[in-house]
A = this chain, B = another copy of it.
Amino acid sequence: MAEKKYVFDFEEGDASKKDLLGGKGANLAEMTRLGFPVPPGFTVTTEACKDYLRTGGFPEGLWDEIVEAVRRLEQKTNKKLGDAENPLLVSVRSGAPLSMPGMMDTVLNLGLNNETVKGLIKNTGDERFAYDSYRRFIQMFSDIVLKVERNIFEKEITKKKEEKGVKLDTELTAEDWKELVERFKEIVREETGEEFPTDPWDQLRKAVEAVFNSWNNPRAQVYRRINKISDDLGTAVNVQAMVFGNMGNDSATGVCFTRNPSTGEKELFGEYLVNAQGEDVVAGIRTPQPIQKMKEEIPEAFEQLLKLMDTLEKHYRDMQDIEFTVEKGKLYMLQTRSGKRTAKAAVRIAVEMVHEGLINKEEAVMRVKPEQLDQLLHPQIDPNAKVEVLTKGLPASPGAATGKVVFDADLAEELGKKGEKVILVRWETTPDDIHGIVEAQGILTSHGGMTSHAAVVARGMGKPCVVGAEEVKINEEAKLFKVGDVVVREGDIITIDGSTGNVMLGEVPVVQPELTGELEELLKWADEIRKIGVRTNADTPEDARRAREFGAEGIGLCRTEHMFFGENRLPIVRQMILAEDEESRKEALDKLLPMQRGDFEGIFREMNGLPVTIRLLDPPLHEFLPSYTELSVKLVEKKLGGASKEEVEEIENLARRVKAMSEMNPMLGLRGCRLGLVFPGVYEMQVKAIIEAAINVKKQGYEPVVEITIPLVALAEELRILKERLNKVAKEVIEREGIDISYKFGTMIELPRAALTADEIAEHADFFSFGTNDLTQTTFGFSRDDAEGKFLPRYLEEKILKENPFEVLDKKGVGKLLEIASELGRSTNPELKLGICGEHGGEPSSIEFAYKVGLDYVSCSPFRVPIARLAAAQATLKNA
């Protein structure tokens, strides 16, 4: 095996060698290759780092290579490391293949000691500059390499300023810095028990080692875990001849972007400081100037910079984030990389670059992170606002909302209708609160999880919602809530952020979403690319319209139960559930039929020509009933309060029937298709309503595309029987009306057994809709409501789980069931259509998984449709 080459001069690399040279090194090499004014230097490879970490010492030959590289650098700069006359000074910087804040960053001015500083004075004629550079070097080196706390030095500077009665660092003299240099060295001796290294070679070796070791420092490890960066990459080390932006008023240092990273506008954007080194910008002692001002101050360098920026952007075909230094009027490029940007900017830049011919549509689509779009689709807390967070709950429905605290739904409705903005604050919400939720700006609950009533309803309405904010202790009687010692009374203003779960006192500035023309254009390209459909989960005509505007190609899940929660319907629904004979049940169903039909008509009209998948009633019936505990308490109150015998008996009767309906584990009880089998009337009414609605809108000239899905199937036989029964109902309606409606029957795959026996089930289904919310619950044995309140946060904190499986599809477990079900299902029914309609349908990594498994579509909430369209296109491109 040829010996490894551990060190590359900038001239030897290029942008493609990121893995070996790190991002920074590769880009420096690229710029060098392009003939840009880059101070010369070399990169120690990630391979060297990995070998070092494996063996715990410099691998054979490495130091020799570094020495040789320094020799070459000396030739190029005509300076010499450690030379008292004409010393070479270098910067040492880490540079991993992926950007990694939290690692060791930069040591500047390496090579200085009591001898070489004299050479620097001689060369620059500026003693103060030289000692300032020297003390900076000691500070940085001590901090980063020797692990001496930075603020010990800062204190010493402060002390010196006090002694001298001055306020700014710039007011200290050369002599002051010189004294401080000696003091700093003493500090190092005190803190480490050793002398500060004076040999530049020794300094260099130690700095390189420190960079290597920083790969495994705890902050870096945590960062990698969170960002899913492999531990095996290692970091490179860049050693580069120093240039100085602090050599007078014809010197400067700055950063600039080739476009505006906030808005995406194609304009010069950046800032700089005259007579400064990079860290001064960071330190914030002096306020940097807008880059435009450089035109006046250092015109030549400015013009050159403009040209280079343009070249760089065209070369990299992306917006660049550039660091530069001007030393005595001469421009040096120190770094370039693709710049971070807001969602808005990302979209605009990507689209405009296509128009400019810089990139193609596929590249544009890959340039925007789907999750980022969320920012654009809801009102957001102004990112520039100073926000103080009172407490935090679960981010149940995104967006920000501000309003008066109100503790009951009636008052919320009353105030809301008057035009006042209110936030409804409840222990948990129930169907009885709907009228208040409708009128509130947002919802805050102290209990419940991501699928609690409040969360589901709020997401359906696109209304900001924070749930499970457990620190919020509500005292309804006293009309207040407490968070620790803070008391918030009814009428006080609060702001909730449903995107983060934050709860804040008072009003916090909010920015409104913009659906720009660029976004629409980008998504149109995404649509051309993607091979997996995007539908929406929508239960109302309003949701359907919004989703269609956002580009949904159909409804993948229309939940009929939410229609049952309507204020005027709940009493009828209760009558149906509690019916003690078939007659009174039928009576209630007859009353519900025209209402349901109306719901469906509205939705069919909005989705004209697009498929609408309607799920028959799914939740346990007692969700529609009052609480047994509350009834029991009421009963005792009435009894002891001397209420009439009739009144007591009525409550007793109700309580008895509610208790009979109650279940230990309602999620696994009498719900879904089990309802359809035990109380056939409900599903029959629903199918009647669906087909009648389809016929009615067809008469009006619309084109309804009907898909009916049967939930919670565990056994092929359940589906077979229900399909047979409901087909009969549908055919009767069609025959009676004499208008033909074609419709499909499918099933939810949301129980492990359904997935494992999908071959049998597929024989009775036109389509499968993967209900990954429930499938995640049963596969993990996690009740989402309980898990998110009781142990999931801890699991995530302790990294027992890397991600919340209710947000990001668990590929190993739930995903395996999806694969099994898809394969088995298609083995017996090759025409089977497959879709996913859990919340995962709007999550990019889950969408990619769905695409890879070969599903036909994903379905998500209206506000996530644009995200899904983009993610679906990216999935196609990534797996091309």
Is A665's beta carbon under 8 Å from chain B?
yes
Indicate which residue in B632, B635, B665, B678 contacts A668 across the interface (CB closer than 8 Å): B665
Which listed segment binds B: A180-188, A489-497, A715-723?
A715-723
Q: Which of A510-543 contact B (CB under 8 A)?
A: none
Verify A786–B669 contact, CB threshold 8 A. Answer: yes
Verify A717–B756 contact, CB threshold 8 A. Answer: no
Which listed segment binds B: A18-26, A372-380, A574-582, A774-782?
A774-782
Verify A668–B669 contact, CB threshold 8 A. Answer: no
Q: Which of A665-695 contact B (CB under 8 A)?
A: 665-670, 674, 677-678
Verify A677–B782 contact, CB threshold 8 A. Answer: no
Give A782 to B665 CA distance when docked, in angstroms: 9
Indicate which residue in B781, B795, B816 contacts A751 across the interface (CB closer than 8 Å): B781
Is A810's beta carbon under 8 Å from chain B?
yes
Complex copy number for this chain: 2
Verify B779–A665 contact, CB threshold 8 A. Answer: no
Verify B666–A786 contact, CB threshold 8 A. Answer: yes
Verify A668–B636 contact, CB threshold 8 A. Answer: no
Indicate which residue in B640, B714, B750, B813 contacts A637 across the interface (CB closer than 8 Å): B640
Is A800's beta carbon under 8 Å from chain B?
yes
Verify A781–B781 contact, CB threshold 8 A. Answer: no
Verify A718–B800 contact, CB threshold 8 A. Answer: yes
Give A717 to B799 CA distance when docked, in angstroms: 9
Is A663's beta carbon under 8 Å from chain B?
yes
Verify A779–B751 contact, CB threshold 8 A. Answer: yes
Verify B778–A779 contact, CB threshold 8 A. Answer: yes
Verify B718–A783 contact, CB threshold 8 A. Answer: no
- A668 touching B782 in the complex, CB below 8 Å, given contacts A752-B752, A757-B812, A813-B753: yes
Give A814 to B752 CA distance when docked, in angstroms: 9
Interface string of A812-842 (1 = CB under 8 A from B): 1110110000000000000000000000000
Interface centre among A629, A640, A798, A801 (most CB of B within 10 A): A629
Verify B786–A668 contact, CB threshold 8 A. Answer: yes
Is A790's beta carbon under 8 Å from chain B?
yes
Q: Which residue of B lies closest to A452 (CB)?
A: B664
Is A641's beta carbon under 8 Å from chain B?
yes
* Contact partners of A783 in chain B: CB under 8 A: 663-665, 667-669
Interface residues of A: mostly helix, strand, loop or mixed? helix
Is A880's beta carbon under 8 Å from chain B?
no
Give A810 to B799 CA distance when docked, in angstroms: 35
Is A743's beta carbon under 8 Å from chain B?
no
Give A721 to B800 CA distance when docked, in angstroms: 8
- A785 touching B674 in the complex, CB below 8 Å, given contacts A778-B778, A800-B721, A814-B753: no
Q: Which of A327-353 contact B (CB under 8 A)?
A: none
Is A223's beta carbon under 8 Å from chain B?
no
Indicate which residue in B666, B674, B800 contacts A715 across the interface (CB closer than 8 Å): B800
Verify B751–A780 contact, CB threshold 8 A. Answer: yes
Interface string of A745-765 (1 = CB under 8 A from B): 000001111001100100000
* Contact partners of A714 in chain B: CB under 8 A: 779-782, 813
Q: Which of A698-753 contact B (CB under 8 A)?
A: 712, 714-715, 717-718, 721, 750-753
Is A168's beta carbon under 8 Å from chain B?
no
Verify A794–B677 contact, CB threshold 8 A. Answer: yes
Give A812 to B757 CA distance when docked, in angstroms: 7
Verify B753–A781 contact, CB threshold 8 A. Answer: yes
For this complex, into which size category does the number of interface residues on chain A fall?
Answer: 35 or more
Verify A667–B665 contact, CB threshold 8 A. Answer: yes
Q: How far is the CB of A787 from chain B (nearest CB, A)?
A: 7
* Contact partners of A786 in chain B: CB under 8 A: 663-666, 668-670
Is A36's beta carbon under 8 Å from chain B?
no
Give A715 to B817 CA distance when docked, in angstroms: 16
Verify B778–A678 contact, CB threshold 8 A. Answer: no
Verify A813–B668 contact, CB threshold 8 A. Answer: no
* Contact partners of A790 in chain B: CB under 8 A: 663, 669-670, 674, 678
Give A717 to B795 CA distance when docked, in angstroms: 10
* Contact partners of A782 in chain B: CB under 8 A: 668, 714
Is A628's beta carbon under 8 Å from chain B?
yes
Indicate which residue in B712, B715, B752, B801 contacts A778 across the interface (CB closer than 8 Å): B752
Is A63's beta carbon under 8 Å from chain B?
no
Interface centre among A663, A712, A794 (most CB of B within 10 A): A663
Give A663 to B783 CA distance when docked, in angstroms: 9
* Contact partners of A801 in chain B: CB under 8 A: 715, 717
Verify B756–A813 contact, CB threshold 8 A. Answer: yes
- A666 touching B663 in the complex, CB below 8 Å, given contacts A756-B812, A791-B678: no
Q: Which of A421-467 contact B (CB under 8 A)?
A: none
Verify B667–A717 contact, CB threshold 8 A. Answer: no
Verify B664–A664 contact, CB threshold 8 A. Answer: no
Is A283's beta carbon under 8 Å from chain B?
no
Q: Which residue of B lies closest to A448 (CB)?
A: B664
Q: How far is the CB of A485 from chain B (nearest CB, A)?
A: 19
Q: How far is the CB of A451 from chain B (nearest CB, A)?
A: 10
Interface centre among A760, A781, A782 (most CB of B within 10 A): A781
Verify B800–A779 contact, CB threshold 8 A. Answer: no
Verify B777–A752 contact, CB threshold 8 A. Answer: no
Give A425 to B546 CA distance when docked, in angstroms: 58
Is A633's beta carbon under 8 Å from chain B?
yes
* Contact partners of A799 in chain B: CB under 8 A: 717
* Contact partners of A678 in chain B: CB under 8 A: 790-791, 794
Give A552 to B633 CA distance when docked, in angstroms: 50
Verify A810–B669 contact, CB threshold 8 A. Answer: no
* Contact partners of A779 in chain B: CB under 8 A: 714, 751-753, 756, 778
Give A821 to B786 CA distance when docked, in angstroms: 27
Q: How far is the CB of A718 from chain B (nearest CB, A)?
A: 6
Give A786 to B669 CA distance when docked, in angstroms: 5
* Contact partners of A816 in chain B: CB under 8 A: 756
Q: Which residue of B lies closest to A814 (CB)?
A: B753
Q: How far is the CB of A475 from chain B (nearest CB, A)?
A: 12
Q: Which residue of B lies closest to A760 (CB)?
A: B812
- A753 touching B800 in the complex, CB below 8 Å, given contacts A629-B628, A781-B714, A781-B774: no
* Contact partners of A715 in chain B: CB under 8 A: 800-801
Q: How far is the CB of A828 from chain B (nearest CB, A)?
A: 14
In the complex, given contacts A664-B786, A752-B781, A752-B813, what are 20 additional A-B residue pairs having Cβ atoms less than 8 angstroms apart? Answer: A628-B629, A629-B632, A633-B633, A636-B640, A637-B640, A663-B783, A663-B790, A668-B778, A668-B783, A668-B786, A669-B783, A670-B790, A674-B791, A677-B791, A715-B801, A717-B800, A752-B778, A752-B779, A752-B817, A756-B813
Q: Which 9 A-B pairs have the closest CB atoms?
A: A669-B786, A668-B783, A665-B783, A753-B813, A751-B781, A752-B752, A670-B790, A663-B786, A629-B629
A interface residues with partner B (beta carbon < 8 Å): 628-629, 632-633, 635-637, 640-641, 663-670, 674, 677-678, 712, 714-715, 717-718, 721, 750-753, 756-757, 760, 774, 777-783, 785-787, 790-791, 794-795, 798-801, 810, 812-814, 816-817
25 A-B contact pairs sorted by A residue (CB < 8 Å) = A633-B635, A636-B636, A663-B786, A664-B666, A664-B667, A664-B785, A665-B668, A667-B668, A668-B781, A668-B786, A669-B787, A670-B786, A670-B791, A678-B794, A714-B780, A718-B800, A751-B780, A751-B781, A752-B752, A752-B817, A753-B779, A753-B810, A753-B812, A753-B814, A774-B781
